[in-house]
Amino acid sequence: MVHLANKINIMKTILFVEDEFTLQKTLGEVLTKEGYQVISALDGEIGLRMAKEKKPDLILLDLILPKMNGFEVLKKIKEDEAIKDIPIIVLTNLEGMEDIQKALELGAATYLVKANYSLEEVLEKIKKTINE
């Protein structure tokens, strides 16, 4: 069973929409090591386009992004029939209650504030969400 789960992991793709290069590299590397295929997008517009083209199994989304902010990306993904069922984890530094509520109302699966989670914990959440 474990072997099979690992095999499925290899095929699973994660779209990582994040403008901070450091995070792209660190979290991207950890996820690749875990056997996921990681697609990087450095701004909201590319993120949305990638989501439509590649139809990933999970989207990691920052909220403060150039060109199109995370809320808009989230809204547009949820409006698109073809990709609206992809689970989205919001990974951001915004920790205002309004922001959290807004993102969850728009359909985010989980909301993680970067400062409050360690790399391991984030990884756990991603695994849990992608296997659901």
Partner 1 sequence: MVGASRFELELNPPKGLVLPLHYAPFIPILVELTLLVNFLVWYTNIIMIGKKILEQLNIIKQCRKYSLSVWQCPQFLFLIMGIIIIVSSLLTYAIGNRYIEDPLLVALIVIAVSIVLLIIAATITRSFETLAETNRMKSEFVSIVSHQLRSPLSNLKWVIELLMSGKVCPVAEKQTEYFRMLKENSKRMDELVSDLLTVSRIEQGRLPLQKEKTSFKDLVEKIIKETEILAKASNVEVEFNPADNLPDIIFDPSQLKLSVANLLENAIRYAKAKGNVKIGLKKKNSKLYFEIKDSGVGIPEKDQKYIFQRFFRSENAKKRQTEGSGLGLYIAKSIIEKSGGKIGFNSKENKGSTFWFTLPIK
DSSP state of 56: -
Looking at the Cβ atoms of 23 and 68, the one nearer to partner 1 is 23
Q: How many of the other CB atoms lie within 10 Å of CB of 83?
A: 19
Name 75's bridge partners: none
Choose which of 1, 2, 4, 115 interacts with partner 1 (CB under 8 A).
115
Choose which of 12, 13, 20, 129 interacts with partner 1 (CB under 8 A).
20
Name 72's bridge partners: none
Choose which of 1, 97, 105, 132 interacts with partner 1 (CB under 8 A).
97
Residues 6+ apart with CB under 8 A from 55: 82, 83, 86
Looking at the Cβ atoms of 54 and 67, the one nearer to partner 1 is 67
Interface positions with partner 1 (CB under 8 A): 20, 22-23, 26-27, 29-30, 33, 93, 96-97, 114-115, 118-120
